[in-house]
Structure 1
Amino acid sequence: MLEVGQVLRVRVATPQESHYQLKQKLGQNAGRQTWLAEDLATQPAEAVIVKFLAFGDQVQWDDLKLFEREADVLKQLNHPRIPKYRDYFSIDDRILWFALVQQFIPGSSLKDLLNQRQKFSEEQVRRITTDVLEILIYLHSLIPPVLHRDIKPSNLILGEDKQVYLVDFGAVQDRATAQGATFTVVGTYGYAPMEQFGGRAVPASDLYALGATLIHLVTGTPPADLPQRNMRIQFSDRTTLSPHFIRWLEALTEPDVDLRIKTASQALETLNSRITSQSSSLVSQPHGSRIKIKKSARSLEIKIPARGIQFSDTFLLFFVSFWYGILILFTKGAFHPFLLLHWIAGLFPLSMLILPAFGEIYIRFNHNYFFMEWELFGQCYRKRQGKTSVIHHVHVSSESIAVNNRPLMAVSIEAGAEKYKFGAFSPELSDVEREWLVREIKEWLGL
């Protein structure tokens, strides 16, 4: 029976005995116990973690094989953010206990922080992501690759030095599963991908588990409790993440392993390239532009204001006034059916004058939807809506209508099979401004 204060005297390969004094039980389940202890052989005594496996009715041979594999793998690892192997031994105290001793990492697990209702900002999540990916790059580059197979919040420790440590290699795999061979199912539901439960874990399986863990951090909800569609975790409507980070997480948690990001190096490169693009790209508003943009991690709002009556409108204003003046003079206010076409013909030049002078355009994006509204004198006369997640292309396109033998240009947003355009009938919107708006929208979307 293991008790607080108990000193374990262990004779290892050398004649010298090791002494471990048990200080605090940290966890227990199904023949397993984890203790905080002190290594009395060091001066001063150093804190260590001792994991025990009781060989008996609750423990199968496969459990013991995994336990021994964890010890063997930890012996070979040398990374500053992986707990170092210290000792492995067995004790027979009515029950045969196997024990693995490893370095103690002071800090809190991400699970503990989630239980304390801590909120994680996008900047914090990015730092955690980078730390874990650097560890996975090391593990996956070993020969053979070492797969952790159980990345989740409880196995990630935020140390007192603010760095993230990967712990608990109890499900580790350091060799490929032979075709047709039996295998032990490992991993945690909600975090482990489907191929892992089929015994076909690959480096991308650890990436999926990392992605699911990050989704837990940003939503505060375990991935198993989030809705799914076509086996994809649906989380974007529960976060304030920037769209490009959401897309990156979606690529990391792609259910089809063949379509998922393949390596930790690729994942880190993709993440960093988007961070660099976001921070260093020079998307400046053209001088003199009156367009108003308001953007944050959650939304992008664009307002194309009315330009008012300008001197260039003088001729058009005179023409419209003259046209309707003549009609009123000849009809003397009475309705004549044969003059209906003349009234309608005057509407086009009238709209060419009124819409740019007094019409405004609003384009709003959030993580779920985008909206385009056209207003005249404060009243919306046209509105379109689409889904942000299906936008795949934003560019300047030419319209079939031409003015003075020059085709009208519009900003085109392609979402799925639909096209959403604005700015074609806005003479105050210059070519430079259209290109600038395209860059702003693409930047916010992470395209």
Structure 2
Amino acid sequence: MLAEGDVIAGRYRIEHLIGQGGMSHVYLAGDLKLPGKLWAIKEMTARMPRELQLEEEAALLIAMNHHRLPRIVDFWSSDSEGRSYLVMDYIEGVHLDQHVRRLGRSFKLEMLIGIGVQICEGLHYLHSRKPPIIHRDLKPSNLLIDGKGEIRFVDFGIARKFRPDGLEDTIKLGTIGFAAPEQYGGRQSDGRADLYSLGAVLLYLGTHCKYTEFTTEAMNLLAKNGFSRLAPTIEKLLHSFPEERFQTAQEAGAALAKLLERPQAGGVRVRNKVRAEEAGEVVPGRSIVIAVMGAGPGVGATHTAVSLAHSLARYSRRVAVLELDPRATAFERIFHRLGAEGRHSRQLPNRRARMEGVDYIRTSSRVEMLDLFAEDYTYLICDLGSSRRKDLLEEFVRADLAILVGSAVAWRVDELELFSTDAPGQIKRSPVYCLPLATGTDVSRLQKSLDTKQVFTLPAESNPFVPGQAMEMALLQACSEVLPQGIRPVKRGFWLSSKK
């Protein structure tokens, strides 16, 4: 074993041991070339079967790129004692079983479902590789949850590529209680083995780390802990025969996400809600989602989203503006500014801040966004930036109102016209076009070329956190079709309603 202070590869200084198994040790290490940078270093002993050499794990991970998987930065093997070393991102978090024990009764259904959905995201990526990657050792101690609530996979020691011509696994490994029956002989394990392990993980967490088999006792404890809605899904995941389980991680994730749908207040049935939303209607009793996207870079999508949020906050107590593009940095700069001023803001957990009646939230997953519906916001304003990422375009499509911010200058108007070819599926309503500083002539010209009346100019506004009356009127006019009657603009001013 390595000791504190040891330096390996002339670069990595060992801080302390952070984990170990029967065949490996994981250390926290500082980087002598990048002071302050920490890495996790996995040391594998020489006494390993050929199929489990660290080279295999390194080769698998280096070829992958997903936010739920560790990033490999260095690898070497065969030191004087035959050991191998893998250097990867250090993820500051806790194992899932430790996380649940710490929360105790505060661990709720929505949290457990969210964990399951995130695990499915990682499994879907692995199983979609060509050939598919099978994890084979999914368990709470191989999954971390960080301070942002994100799930990260941290050990791929016995993962392998699926071989369509293989009759059974070369080696039979996995953790008893979490490994699928087919991993112990007679059949080759495929992606459905990982789904069995997912079911065992969910059952284990839902019974507060007591059961991994779906027995009567486990089912009763699951119900007692408030997770009875998950029981049918877990039971299907834990079926002994792979063909009786969910067949893909994507299918399992969709089934879990569906459990997050909440019945509407006032006796509105879920199926009526679905029909209404499919027809493009805003259903009373839930958050109104307004997506704001830029037709190109630098057109003012974030400025528009922030101005809209603060305009609506004058009529509702519950407004949030969300930054959904994980590569965006606007909210980070806003948070820094708020922290520096420290007068008009209140810092909240989970990448949040509150200013002038609006919650600013950085979120990087659909699950996090779904959780916000449980917080009873009246309006959720989604800042999607100007990226053409598929997941962001999908949020634009499914929003109650989609606002496309663009430029009216002659050499950029084609960005607005080309956008419709990028947007997938059917948008609930035709998008509303907002053009900062456009003239009346510009608006008329674009209404004609875009074949829509939903084109609006936005006036100059130097302070989006406290928008002036002209900006407020323009934005509420653009959003009028999804606003309640009480704050819809009329010819002279607005009908003002009290905050609700």
TM-score (norm 2): 0.49
Residues in 2 aligned to 1:60 and 1:130: alpha-carbon distance in whole angstroms? 34
Partner of 1:35 in structure 2? Answer: 27
Partner of 1:131 in structure 2? Answer: 118
Partner of 2:275 in structure 1? Answer: none
Q: 1:278 to 1:210 in 2, by over 3 A?
A: farther
Residue 108 (structure 1) aligned with residue 83 (structure 2): no
Residue 62 (structure 1) aligned with residue 48 (structure 2): no
Partner of 1:269 in structure 2? Answer: 254
For 1:129-156, what per-residue CA distance to the aligned partner results, in whole angstroms no more than 9, with x for missing partners?
1111111111111111111111111111
Partner of 2:374 in structure 1? Answer: none
Q: 1:111 to 1:263 in 2, by over 3 A?
A: same
Residues in 2 aligned to 1:279 and 1:21: alpha-carbon distance in whole angstroms? 55
Partner of 1:45 in structure 2? Answer: 36
Q: Is the 8 A contact 1:121 1:218 kept in 2?
A: no
- 1:44-443 alignment, distance < 5 Å: 44-56=35-47, 59-64=48-53, 67-90=54-77, 92-93=79-80, 95-116=81-102, 118-119=104-105, 120-176=107-163, 178-180=165-167, 183-198=170-185, 199-224=187-212, 228=215, 234-239=218-223, 240-241=225-226, 243-276=228-261, 278=263, 282-283=268-269
Q: Is the 8 A contact 2:91 2:146 kept in 1?
A: yes
Residues in 2 aligned to 1:219 and 1:162: alpha-carbon distance in whole angstroms? 20
Q: 1:28 to 1:128 in 2, by over 3 A?
A: closer
SS, match of residue 253 in structure 2: helix
User: Which region of structure 1 is more displaced relative to structure 2, 73-82 or 30-39?
Assistant: 30-39
Partner of 1:7 in structure 2? Answer: 7
Residues in 1 aligned to 2:189 and 2:242: alpha-carbon distance in whole angstroms? 10
Letter in 1 for 2:91: I
SS, match of residue 86 in structure 1: strand
Residues in 1 aligned to 2:242 and 2:231: alpha-carbon distance in whole angstroms? 18
SS, match of residue 252 in structure 2: helix
Q: Is the 8 A contact 1:191 1:223 kept in 2?
A: no
Q: 1:153 to 1:35 in 2, by over 3 A?
A: same
Deviation, 1:180, is 4.8
For 1:161-193, what per-residue CA distance to the aligned partner results, in whole angstroms no more than 9, with x for missing partners?
211111101111123274456611121111111
Residues in 1 aligned to 2:133 and 2:179: alpha-carbon distance in whole angstroms? 16
Letter in 1 for 2:196: Y
Letter in 2 for 1:62: E
Letter in 1 for 2:98: D
Q: 1:218 to 1:282 in 2, by over 3 A?
A: same
SS, match of residue 243 in structure 2: coil
SS, match of residue 248 in structure 1: helix
Deviation, 1:100, is 0.8
SS, match of residue 258 in structure 1: helix
Deviation, 1:157, is 0.6
Residues in 2 aligned to 1:182 and 1:82: alpha-carbon distance in whole angstroms? 24
- Flag the structure with higher strand content: 1
Residues in 2 aligned to 1:243 and 1:54: alpha-carbon distance in whole angstroms? 44
Report the count of equivalent residues: 266
SS, match of residue 19 in structure 2: strand
Q: 1:127 to 1:180 in 2, by over 3 A?
A: closer
Residues in 2 aligned to 1:139 and 1:159: alpha-carbon distance in whole angstroms? 21
Residues in 2 aligned to 1:146 and 1:170: alpha-carbon distance in whole angstroms? 12
SS, match of residue 172 in structure 2: coil
Deviation, 1:249, is 1.4
Specify the structure having the higher radius of gyration (Cα). Answer: 1
For 1:277-334, what per-residue CA distance to the aligned partner results, in whole angstroms no more than 9, with x for missing partners?
74588249xxxxxxxxxxxxxxxxxxxxxxxxxxxxxxxxxxxxxxxxxxxxxxxxxx
Q: Is the 8 A contact 1:85 1:102 kept in 2?
A: yes
Partner of 1:22 in structure 2? Answer: 14
Q: Is the 8 A contact 2:46 2:82 kept in 1?
A: yes
Q: Is the 8 A contact 1:155 1:167 kept in 2?
A: yes
TM-score (norm 1): 0.55
Residues in 1 aligned to 2:207 and 2:65: alpha-carbon distance in whole angstroms? 33
For 1:47-86, what per-residue CA distance to the aligned partner results, in whole angstroms no more than 9, with x for missing partners?
1111111214xx333332xx22110010011011211011
Q: Is the 8 A contact 1:49 1:101 kept in 2?
A: yes
